[in-house]
């Protein structure tokens, strides 16, 4: 039985985000660090290498001793991602850029995730303060 969920989200040009739940832990690998890795390893797509290594780790840590992927499978994942394929076990993933201006402009669009958006918005709590966000169809619900 898994102890927590693990998410790895990467966007070429932006970096890779690692998120573990229970306890919540977040780490990122910046685009600059990935470019440095590619420079040190000519011919390697750094994003693809990170994704393939992450998938191998996920499979090896799934709590099932009989599951694993071999080096050929790892290289296959790397080749797919280097070629532009999207590989995901998520039901959905949304990635975009945001600006702080107008963050609280339209509350209708924020329902039912207003609590979560307050936490990650420009006036959210200081780094290191975590809480579980609530879903609500009632505006102005405080976390």
Q: 122 and 66 in one domain? A: no
Cα dihedral value 35, 37, 38, 39, nearest 10: 90
pLDDT digits (tens, 9 = 90+) for 21-53: 888 888 999 999 999 999 999 999 999 999 999
124 pLDDT band (50/70/90 cuts)?
Answer: confident
Is the domain of 10 the same as that of 77?
Answer: yes
Domain residue limits at 109: 98-143
Q: How far apart are CA 109 and CA 100, in angstroms?
A: 16
Residue 141's pLDDT is 47
Whether 30 and 71 map to the same domain: the answer is: yes
List, for residues 55-111, the tens digit of each pLDDT value.
988 888 877 777 788 999 999 999 999 999 998 888 888 888 888 877 765 555 677
Whether pTM exceeds 0.85? no
């Amino acid at each position: 039985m898994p102890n927590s969920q693990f998410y790895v989200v990467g966007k070429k040009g932006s970096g890779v985000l690692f998120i573990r739940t229970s306890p919540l832990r977040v780490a990122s690998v910046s685009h600059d660090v990935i470019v440095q890795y590619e420079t040190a390893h000519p011919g390697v797509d750094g994003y693809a290498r990170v994704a393939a290594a992450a998938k191998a780790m996920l499979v090896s840590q799934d709590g099932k001793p009989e599951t694993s992927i071999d080096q050929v499978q790892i290289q296959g994942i790397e080749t797919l991602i280097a070629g532009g394929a999207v590989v995901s076990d998520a039901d959905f993933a949304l990635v975009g850029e945001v600006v702080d201006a107008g963050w609280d402009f339209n509350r209708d669009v924020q329902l039912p995730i207003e609590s979560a958006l307050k936490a990650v918005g420009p006036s959210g709590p200081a780094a290191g303060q975590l809480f579980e966000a609530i879903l609500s169809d009632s505006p102005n619900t405080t976390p």
